[in-house]
Structure 1
Amino acid sequence: MTDLFQATLSMPGLVPVLLVTFAAGLVYGFAGFGAALIYMPLATIWVPPPVAVAGLALSAVSSLVTVVPRAIRQVEPGPTALMIGAALLTAPLGIWVLRTADPLALRWMMSGFVALTLAALMAGWRYSAVPGRAARALVGAATGVVGGATGLTGPVVILFHLGGQGSAAANRANTLVFLTVLSLLLLPQLALQGLLSAPAIGLGLLQLIPYAAGSRLGQAIFDPSRETLYRRSAYVLIAAAVVLGLPKG
């Protein structure tokens, strides 16, 4: 364990990655989404995509004691469980892409997904239909593929929840619980495909503190009456992450 932490502490770019982790947790705490949208484009500047994906998934453990306890009281358990189950079925395909694809191509894919998600959120995209079980299962399955391949478990489900007609509180709770639980359940699947490496474990463990601190602070400053302000602040940070994280090659 000592050797693991020593190797992690000597990792190039560790300090900026930890700062990015804190910012990702902060946005996640007050907006209810956006951690991976900020973390993945920036963290992959310094660490390979597989290490970043596994490290962020491990960091999500802290959300179980920071943001999930409050959110669980407002979550819709049946629909959320259905989406998590569907995502788990398709995640192995996404993780296979993560394991075999060119790292530069993955970084471009990540930046593209984040940019498209941000554009849809800022445009205020909405749908009027009431989603059934099939629609929720499809959204979960799509999230599993995208999340496994890029670590971006948020884009599909964020657009699904925020674009619907449900209450803001329920949408926020559903998204928080879905993203946290799915991230944790991805860990054994990453391990099965050999991507839960020593560098990923070391980075994930070190990220627990800044991620938890950011999430706790973000939740503490969240005020439902100022939700628009928080959401716009999240948009600015996500846009900055897209620009700064664009691959140079």
Structure 2
Amino acid sequence: MQDLIHATLTMPGLVPVLCVTFLAGLIYGFAGFGAALVYMPLATIWVAPPVAVAGLALSALASLVTVVPRAVRQVEPGPTALMIGAAFLTAPLGIWVLRTADPLALRWMMSALVALTLAALMAGWRYSAVPGRGTRALVGAATGMVGGATGLTGPVVILFHLGGQGSAAANRANTLVFLTVLSVLLLPQLALQGLLSGPAIGLGLLQLLPYAAGSRLGQALFDPAREKLYRQSAYLLIALAVLAGIPWQ
């Protein structure tokens, strides 16, 4: 235990990673999305992608007591549960990609995926069809695959929810609960494939406090009347995270 504590506290880049964790939690608290979009491009500057993915999944435990209790009152339980189940089934394949792929290639994949998601969000992409169970299952399955491989559980489901015709409050609640529960469910799957390592556990546990503080503050700042301002602020921070996280060299 002492060795784990020492290794975590002396981890290169620990302070900036903890600052990024607080920022990710802040965005997640008031927007209902964006934690991984900010965290993954930046955290992987200092830590390997598998450590970052597992660390963020552990950090998501904080959301179970900070933002989920309020959001669950507005969530659509059936559709959300269907999507979580589909994502859980496909996540192992994504985690296998995370375990075997080149770290530099994964960083480029993360940056590209975040940039494409941000572009679609800023363009105001929308669809008019009412999604059925099959569509929701496919969205969940795609999210599990992408999330397992890159830690970015958000892009597919964010575009799905925000591109639909549901209310802002319901979309925010559905996205927030889905992302939190899926992140927690990734933990045993990461462990089974050997990616819940000592460094990842140490980092994840240390990140619990800044992530919880950020998400609690973000939730307190959330005001439906100022949704446009919050969303624009999140877009700006995500864009900055993309630029800073691109592996130029």
TM-score range, shorter chain: over 0.9
How far has the Cα of 1:45 moved from its partner? Answer: 0.2
Residue of structure 1 in register with 2:156 after alignment: 156
User: Would you say 1:80 and 2:90 are equivalent positions?
Assistant: no
User: Would you say 1:204 and 2:211 are equivalent positions?
Assistant: no
Residue of structure 1 in register with 2:189 after alignment: 189
Amino acid at match of 1:38: V
TM-score (norm 2): 0.99
Distance (Å, rounded) in 2 between the aligned partners of 1:5 and 1:144: 31
Alignment of 1:51-90 (within 5 A): 51-90=51-90
Amino acid at match of 1:141: A
Amino acid at match of 1:238: I
Alignment of 1:215-234 (within 5 A): 215-234=215-234
TM-score (norm 1): 0.99
Residue of structure 2 in register with 1:139 after alignment: 139
Q: Report the RMSD for the aligned CA atoms in angstroms.
A: 0.4
How far has the Cα of 1:248 moved from its partner? Answer: 2.2
Distance (Å, rounded) in 2 between the aligned partners of 1:179 and 1:144: 10
Amino acid at match of 1:245: G
Distance (Å, rounded) in 2 between the aligned partners of 1:58 and 1:223: 28
Residue of structure 2 in register with 1:35 after alignment: 35
Q: Which runs of 4+ in 1 moved over 6 A?
A: none
Residue of structure 2 in register with 1:239 after alignment: 239
Distance (Å, rounded) in 1 between the aligned partners of 2:225 and 2:5: 42
Percent identical residues: 87
User: What is the aligned residue count?
Assistant: 249
Distance (Å, rounded) in 1 between the aligned partners of 2:8 and 2:63: 22
Residue of structure 1 in register with 2:6 after alignment: 6
Distance (Å, rounded) in 2 between the aligned partners of 1:217 and 1:240: 21
